[in-house]
Amino acid sequence: MKKILLMAVALFGMAAATMAQEQNANRHFDKGYTADIQLHVTAINAFHITSSHGYNFGGGFYLGGGAGFGAEWEGEGVEGTPHYVPSLFVDARWSMLNKKVSPFVDMKATQYIDLTAGATNYGVTPSVGLDINRFSIGVGYSVRGSKSGWQVAVGFTF
């Protein structure tokens, strides 16, 4: 437990040190390469971890792509059959204000590959949320094939 706490404090310290070097209050207003990592939890019995890499065009506009991996359960809760689902996606995002706390809108178009069922599926996820320094929290609605549901995501931008 002490090691996990020490690691979390060290990561927070590194994030704070890199934030001190930024020109703009909002990272998405700096032109150039950027990346993030996110954890998504959806109402369709799923969780996904994704990483997006792309370009900030300034003015809060970002366009990128990425990959992820997750698990979904067929049936009720985690008692059902697990399906392992890697994904590839394109991500467009607009962070609205050059402030430390800024609202954003985001749209992901994704191809899901269900390794358990041997099938592919496509989906879109529009979402809204808040950028808080390098962290973000968002709420969206994931639609793919016959499944759809609300999604909550938390992320960290590098």
* 76-129 tens-digit pLDDT: 655 678 889 999 999 999 999 999 999 999 999 999 998 988 889 899 999 999
Residue for token digits 């993030």?
A: 36
pLDDT band at 137 (very low <50, low <70, confident <90, very high): very high
CATH of domain 2-157: 2.40.160
Distance of CA 93 to the CA centre of its chain: 11
**Beta strand residue intervals within 8-60, DSSP E:** 32-42, 46-58
Q: What is the pLDDT of residue 145?
A: 80
This prediction has a pTM of 0.79
Locate all alpha helices (DSSP H) within the chain, ordered by sequence: 2-19
Per-residue CA distances from 30 to 40, 80, 105, 146 (Å): 25, 45, 18, 39
Class of residue 60 by CB neighbours under 10 A (exposed 0-12, middle 13-18, buried 19+):
buried
Rounded CA-CA distance 103/132 in Å is 9
Strands 147-157 and 61-74: unpaired
